[in-house]
Structure 1
Amino acid sequence: MVVLDRNKKIDILFINEGTYPMVRGGVADWISQLILGNPDINFGVIFIGSSEDDYEGIRYDLPENLVFLDINYLFEEANLPKSKELQGSDEVYKLKHFLSVKKNIPEELKTLQFYTEKVTLEKFLYGRKTWYFLEDIYLENNLELPFIEFFWTVRNLFLPLWKVASIAEDFVRRKKSLRLIHSPSTGYAGFMSSLLKKELNVPFLLTEHGIYVKERKIDILNSDIFRSKDIFSTNPFGIDPLKVLWINFFINLGKISYGCADKITSLYEDARKVQISLGAPSEKTEVIPNGIKIEKFNVVLKMASPKPVVALIGRVVPIKDVKTFIKAVKLLNTKIDVKGWVVGPTDEDPEYYQECLNLVEILGLEGNLEFLGFQNVVDVLKEVGVSTLTSISEGMPLVVLESLAGGIPFVATDVGACRQLIYGGLDEEDVKLGKAGIVVPVASPFETARAYERLLTDRAFWTNCSRVGRKRVEYYYSFDKFLLNYKRLYSSLMGTEWQEYPLN
């Protein structure tokens, strides 16, 4: 549904999956910074979410240079066509390519016409050929769960492709002037970007913060919605064959995005290497680190001290592994009296949030651990001695840069760019600066608690980490440098001459 149209040309169209403007923090803040930092560029946004009930509405003030906003949800049953008996299309068998990493994706699966003409949504949903197609997949993979469960599971896996195609087709019909597509992920957003790139013949810029395929793989492997239990499986990792099909599906969505994109950016070198291993052509890839407005955190720097508060600033979702943080706070309080704060939205996964509350109660931490919800990060950092993330996957978290800019040492798991941010790694001089905190293994509450204890009790170490963190952000991660990198890239892809635009 289009909720904003200022009837102006669109220079850059963001296609966002589950982020700006319906979710705050992380990638959404990054998108907001790019829009606000480029007031001379008109932006459009197509938002793709799961279902309307999962969001609380628009969470950002919409700037004047955001000239188009279309909000859509992938899983709305009411929008499906009425059932009817159809023969379907043999073309549906080409969808098998999505479920195998050994096959190349045919070019026609990357076109809008495949989903709007060759295999329409009605043909996919109600065609006999679709039934036979799903039967073949079921038998080829020797699945043990009942066929009817498999049928609905795989049908729903493919269904969003038609929803995405429908949203893309609606945008094409509007005949909007467009110069560049920018997607902050692969997945469904990257797939839609690929369809529009081919349909409209405009450049496509792909940016990944975390690696989408890796994060979906974690979600799928941790999911309990797959009930197939093959005790005689020859898979050395014991992965449910149905989960393998789901993982392959998202790997192939990524390959489509990588193949269609004109330029692929990541936040750090290791992420670029992972992109290449997943199918990104190396010549298209480039690293552009995040940056922040350092002066915003000067007020924190003036007040920084090892206060007995450790704050995890992030969403309360499984990938952030908030439970490890809770356990670490419990262990820490056997040595010193410390408060633990979880600062971030709790509504994204209510079941997980309740599990965290239950764990706090079981461990008797009601007086030492609080969930504060979304807060202004500057206000939070004024009151803490150590910031932390216990995530099992990250990209280049802005909260690490924000904490270091305020002189607050950081404890993070060894994921994404966290080691680079805390220990240095962009070049030799960066490494020589020293440590801005401590990096710990994933899911290690004992080592995490020891890291908190050292920073809160060793004043000299805390002070040095504080100094190093601020210097590292000043030298390598300024907002101006970040913004200039994207201004140059935007100008290059849009075919305009880059100039030194004033920074805001």
Structure 2
Amino acid sequence: MKICIIAEGSYPYVTGGVSSWIQNIATQMPEHEFIIYAIAAQKKQQGKFKYDLPANVIEVKEAFLDSYLEEDSKWGKRFRLDAEQKKNVKALLGSDGTLDWTSFIRLFRSSRFDRVSDFLTSRDFFDILEELCQEKYPLVPFTEMFWTVRSMILPLFITIRDDIPEADLYHSVSTGYAGVIGVVAKEIYNKPFLLTEHGIYSREREEEIIKAEWVKGYFKDLWIQYFYRISSCAYELSDQVTTLFGRNKEIEIELGCEAEKISIIPNGVRIKDYADLPSEKPADQYYIGAIVRVVPIKDIKTMLQSFALIKRELPNAMFYVMGPYEEDLSYYEECLQLVQSLELQDVIFTGSVKIKDYIGKMDLLMLTSISEGQPLAILEGMAAGKPFVVTNVGSCKELLEGMNDEIGAAGFVVPVMHYEQLAQAAIALCKNEKLRIEMGRNAYERVKKHYRQDDVIENYRRLYGRMGGEKNGRNRVRA
């Protein structure tokens, strides 16, 4: 079977998390061929892969959301959209009413447009936006609204018109633009579409926009509604949906996904890979680590603030941030500046490293994210028998405390951004070797019982087999 995995902002440009999950799926299913449809923010990322691709990955199709910058357009055309087409465009921009995604996709893949940017400089779009502003945004300057909306939706329109490789099954690992591509592929080739959500894409974009300085206050709601709307495309038109844990499923249902097509397949790790790891370190030092990308959603700054408090109590503590920092260099620089302003010693940003060379030496691990799905970083640490201090996001509480499995706690769970509580929990673990050993043992037992990678691969192997022969009976659209 030929399977097209569609990934946005992850594989093969970024390591860890979803990217590791994709690499494992492809590597451990040599009986299938895989095409990777990789969506990245900027064209400068082209070809900069962080993984050695398995032999059964036969193609990587790269798409860049900033490619709209290369498009010219002609002003003032008239495309004479009908009432349904106008309603769909307005619905995308936050107007009341439903959006018929099939009709919308067919319109913007049609030969009516030489370039999709022509529509956004057309009289039709100008009239639609003017009408929407009168209805919903009467106090917002029209010129600002026009250029904001244009930059917001151009990447979506270009994504819809992109060439998509033909496959037997399309598997998107998020909603958003990747989910839209899955739907477009389903419509073009009449093939099944599987959606997997690790984290809830629209919730994560909402959290980022709320904090973003580049979005003016009165446009934040517009951007947030837009991401929820494009996520609804995949929820509505996917054939099957998988997610990692029960709360994710509940949120997907709240956001409009049919409960009947959602199943839960947890993450997993190869436990034997974490046996007999190097563990030598100075006996008089405490090693605290974090397996994490240095990006805002992981909230490294809260982690550093907590370590400042830990360092006051335990001067011989060391802190290792183990993961890449190139993805957001400005945020990385902010973290370095915070280290300086806090006058912190013994903080090491390792960059991309072989995690197994480090985690065996750690006394405990931390994760302070403001949003998560079911973090592979936690499962890796648990497989190595390490206790955790984590924020209460995604399935972190479920991983550490279990679901009535009669295995004890594997660490401490604290509220998001509460660096004092993070520090207190870490200090308690450092000072109590017996507790560290007990929680580390619980971590290992829980992973061994519930989160084995062999089970993940077998579950997806069966799901691919069931879906690969299905026909959805839809009419084809222009390829």
TM-score over 0.5 (shorter chain): yes
Tell whether 2:253 aligns with 1:276.
Answer: yes
Q: In 2, are the aligned partners of 1:301 and 1:407 still within 8 Å (CA)?
A: no
Q: In 1, are the aligned partners of 2:108 and 2:116 still within 8 Å (CA)?
A: no
Q: Secondary structure at the match of 1:23?
A: coil
Q: Report the Cα offset of residue 84 of structure 1.
A: 4.4
Tell whether 2:377 aligns with 1:439.
Answer: no
Q: Report the Cα offset of residue 318 of structure 1.
A: 1.1
Residue identity opposite 1:261 in structure 2: S
The residue aligned with 1:232 is none
Q: Deviations over 1:86-130 (max 9, x none)?
A: 123333452111133852211444534434345661441321111
Q: Report the Cα offset of residue 334 of structure 1.
A: 1.0
The residue aligned with 1:491 is 465
* Corresponding residue to 1:132 among 95, 107, 127: 127
Distance change >3 Å, CA 165–CA 11, structure 1 → 2 = same
| 1:77-116 alignment, distance < 5 Å | 77-90=68-81, 91-100=85-94, 102-116=96-110
* Corresponding residue to 2:23 among 24, 28, 32: 32
The residue aligned with 1:257 is 234
Q: Is the deviation greater in 136-145 or in 301-310?
A: 301-310
Q: Report the Cα offset of residue 243 of structure 1.
A: 1.7
Residue identity opposite 2:442 in structure 1: V
Residue identity opposite 2:158 in structure 1: K
* Corresponding residue to 1:198 among 162, 187, 190: 187
* Corresponding residue to 1:150 among 134, 145, 158: 145
Q: Is the deviation greater in 130-139 or in 279-288?
A: 130-139
Task: Give the ranges of 4+ consecutive aligned residues of structure 1 lying more than 6 Å apart after TM superposition.
Answer: 301-306
Tell whether 2:456 aligns with 1:482.
Answer: yes
Residue identity opposite 2:21 in structure 1: W
The residue aligned with 2:33 is 42
Distance in 2 of aligned mates of 1:494 and 1:226: 42
Q: Secondary structure at the match of 1:371?
A: strand
Distance in 1 of aligned mates of 2:68 and 2:457: 41
Distance in 1 of aligned mates of 2:413 and 2:453: 24
Q: Deviations over 1:301-336 (max 9, x none)?
A: 876999611112111111111111000000011111
Q: Report the Cα offset of residue 24 of structure 1.
A: 1.1
* Corresponding residue to 2:164 among 165, 168, 171: 171
Q: Is the deviation greater in 45-54 or in 451-460?
A: 45-54
Q: Report the Cα offset of residue 421 of structure 1.
A: 0.6
* Corresponding residue to 1:293 among 270, 279, 302: 270
Tell whether 2:433 aligns with 1:459.
Answer: yes
Q: In 2, are the aligned partners of 1:15 and 1:189 still within 8 Å (CA)?
A: yes
Identity of aligned residues (%): 34
* Corresponding residue to 1:312 among 277, 282, 290: 290
Distance change >3 Å, CA 140–CA 282, structure 1 → 2 = same
Residue identity opposite 1:141 in structure 2: K
Name the Cα RMSD after superposition: 2.0
Residue identity opposite 1:314 in structure 2: V
Residue identity opposite 2:360 in structure 1: K
Q: In 1, are the aligned partners of 2:14 and 2:327 still within 8 Å (CA)?
A: no
Residue identity opposite 1:97 in structure 2: A
Distance in 2 of aligned mates of 1:132 and 1:11: 44
Distance change >3 Å, CA 333–CA 137, structure 1 → 2 = same
Q: Secondary structure at the match of 1:341?
A: strand
Distance change >3 Å, CA 55–CA 326, structure 1 → 2 = farther
Q: In 2, are the aligned partners of 1:13 and 1:44 still within 8 Å (CA)?
A: yes
The residue aligned with 1:373 is 351
Distance in 2 of aligned mates of 1:306 and 1:257: 53
Q: Report the Cα offset of residue 459 of structure 1.
A: 1.0
Q: Deviations over 1:54-101 (max 9, x none)?
A: 577011111111111111111124531343441233334521111338
Unaligned runs of 5+ in 1: 1-9, 229-239, 497-504
Q: In 2, are the aligned partners of 1:43 and 1:65 still within 8 Å (CA)?
A: yes
Q: In 1, are the aligned partners of 2:319 and 2:347 still within 8 Å (CA)?
A: yes
Distance change >3 Å, CA 250–CA 481, structure 1 → 2 = same
Distance change >3 Å, CA 145–CA 309, structure 1 → 2 = farther
Q: In 2, are the aligned partners of 1:110 and 1:194 still within 8 Å (CA)?
A: no
Q: Is the deviation greater in 218-227 or in 433-442?
A: 218-227
Q: Is the deviation greater in 214-223 or in 302-311?
A: 302-311
Q: In 2, are the aligned partners of 1:263 and 1:285 still within 8 Å (CA)?
A: yes
Q: In 1, are the aligned partners of 2:13 and 2:50 still within 8 Å (CA)?
A: yes
Tell whether 2:177 aligns with 1:188.
Answer: yes
Distance change >3 Å, CA 101–CA 302, structure 1 → 2 = farther
- TM-score (norm: length of structure 2): 0.92
Residue identity opposite 1:121 in structure 2: V
The residue aligned with 2:476 is none
Q: Report the Cα offset of residue 416 of structure 1.
A: 0.3
Distance in 2 of aligned mates of 1:329 and 1:207: 35
Residue identity opposite 1:284 in structure 2: K
Q: Report the Cα offset of residue 39 of structure 1.
A: 0.4
| 1:424-435 alignment, distance < 5 Å | 424-425=402-403, 428=404, 430=405, 432-435=406-409
The residue aligned with 2:337 is 358
| 1:365-444 alignment, distance < 5 Å | 365=344, 367-425=345-403, 428=404, 430=405, 432-444=406-418
Q: Secondary structure at the match of 2:277?
A: helix
Distance in 1 of aligned mates of 2:239 and 2:262: 9
Q: Is the deviation greater in 270-279 or in 53-62?
A: 53-62
Q: Report the Cα offset of residue 460 of structure 1.
A: 1.1
Q: Report the Cα offset of residue 225 of structure 1.
A: 2.0
Distance change >3 Å, CA 388–CA 482, structure 1 → 2 = same
Tell whether 2:300 aligns with 1:329.
Answer: no
Q: Deviations over 1:419-449 (max 9, x none)?
A: 0110002xx3x2x101111111100010000
Q: Is the deviation greater in 148-157 or in 74-83?
A: 74-83
Distance in 1 of aligned mates of 2:443 and 2:228: 36
Q: In 2, are the aligned partners of 1:217 and 1:247 still within 8 Å (CA)?
A: yes
Residue identity opposite 1:154 in structure 2: V
Unaligned runs of 5+ in 2: 471-479
Q: Is the deviation greater in 102-111 or in 157-166?
A: 102-111
Distance in 2 of aligned mates of 1:267 and 1:258: 16
Distance change >3 Å, CA 419–CA 143, structure 1 → 2 = farther
Distance change >3 Å, CA 82–CA 255, structure 1 → 2 = closer
Q: Deviations over 1:245-294 (max 9, x none)?
A: 21111112121101111110110000010011001100000000001111
Distance change >3 Å, CA 89–CA 45, structure 1 → 2 = farther
